[in-house]
Amino acid sequence: MPNSDSADSSTMRQGDRPTAPAAIVRAQPLQIAKSSTVDDVLSLAGRCCLSQLVGNQAAALAGDPEGVHQMRVAIRRLGSALAAFRRAMPEHQYRSTKDGLDWLKQALGTARNWDVFATDLLTPVAGARPRDHDLATLATAAARRRQEAYRRVEEAIRSPRYSATITELTGWFERHAWRTHASPLLDAAIADVAPDLVDRQRRSVRKRGRRFLDQSPMQRHKLRIALKKLRYAIELLEDVLDPARVATYRKRIKTLQADLGRINDVRTAHGLVSEIIERDADDDPALARTAGLVLGWHERGLADRETRTARHVRQMRRLPSF
């Protein structure tokens, strides 16, 4: 864990030597055997996710957007593993573990939202309108909000609560502390139960994908979250699943996740824009007009792709069971 009094690597004092960028740690396959038990896989998955989480601390502290993103991926992967094996552990342990990560996910999520707003939403519009100086003003206002979000990320990572959470979770997974529940599922061979565990997530996606064109933004957001959980469950258990089916699902999930991700980015941007207007519009009234231009630009793009996205949802819902 980093010391609370260490210098932030995103800044350099006079006389310091340049340092190499902090390494990015991405998710690694679990490489589980068909004879492994649920108990074995749960412990392995938890320790791997925590390794990815902790491994990206330095990059996140340095203000690297990919470091923040990979920490969020680690938390989501861990959450998906816990959800998949929820029946194998005491409910109070599941809730406590989930709650222990939610606060960190929220701090990371705010920074990630500002990153996406700047790179994926503002940049394309600015590129198409290079002479619109109001867009540069909006980008400056967004950069201030991003800096504030990254300060909160640093505060969270350097906090005693974070250290205690990581220490507690590490011990929980290493000790197999859920064994107090004595669930028969824990001793089952993972190859025997993996298809059912994945199909639980598949059924959630099918349910949330009904009547896509009539869905509210929040319903589409929940569909996106269900799709992510299905993706992570497949990645977690792919070594004991049918390879051909895994390949089919990967292709469909990748396409649909891109569609739903853009929808969610624009939905989230409305809240970010409201924050900018509330805090900065008095200094520059043109901010509200410029922000509306950016949102309208991307809303039109979503409308143009609506029918295609609905088709991708239908294709996803028709995929066969594992």
Q: Which CATH architecture has domain 38-317?
A: Alpha solenoid (1.40)
What pLDDT is recorded for position 101? 85
User: What's the pLDDT at 100?
Assistant: 83
**Distances in Å between the alpha carbon of 16 and those of 12, 63, 150?**
6, 18, 22
Q: What is the DSSP string of 199-252?
A: HHHHHHHHHHTTTGGG--HHHHHHHHHHHHHHHHHHHHHGGGS-HHHHHHHHHH
pLDDT at 246 over 70: yes
Q: Mean pLDDT over residues 69-96, rounded?
A: 94
Q: Which pLDDT score is estimated for 300?
A: 94
Q: What is the pLDDT of residue 310?
A: 97
**Residue 283: predicted pLDDT:** 72
Which pLDDT score, from 0 to 100, does residue 149 have?
Answer: 96
Residue 16 has pLDDT above 50, yes or no: no
Residue bearing the bigger pLDDT, 112 or 98: 112
- Alpha carbon 24 to its chain centroid, in Å, reads 15
CA distance 70 to 53: 7
User: Average pLDDT over the chain, rounded to whole?
Assistant: 91
Percent of the chain with pLDDT over 70: 94
- Confidence label for 7 from pLDDT (cuts 50, 70 and 90): very low
Q: Is the pTM of this model over 0.95?
A: no
Average pLDDT for 143-170: 96
pLDDT above 50: residue 12? no
DSSP SS3 for 23: coil
pLDDT at 181 (0 to 100):
76
List the end-to-end C-alpha distance of the chain, in Å, as a whole number: 41
33-73 pLDDT, tens per residue?
A: 989 999 999 999 999 999 999 999 999 999 999 999 999 99
Confidence of residue 9 (pLDDT cuts 50, 70, 90): very low
How do residues 177-187 score in pLDDT, each as one tens digit? Answer: 999 877 999 99
317 pLDDT exceeds 80? yes
* Crossing angle of the two packed helices 217-237 and 190-208, in degrees rounded to 10: 160
pLDDT digits (tens, 9 = 90+) for 257-311: 999 999 999 999 999 999 999 888 777 788 899 999 999 999 999 999 999 999 9
SS3 12: coil
Q: What is the pLDDT of residue 19?
A: 62
Residue of 146, 141, 138, 147 lying closest to 292 (CA atoms): 138
pLDDT in tens, 207-219: 999 999 999 999 9
Mean pLDDT in residue range 233-255: 96
Q: Which pLDDT value is given to residue 161?
A: 94
Mean pLDDT, rounded, for 75-87: 93
Q: Residue ranges of the domains in the chain?
A: 38-317
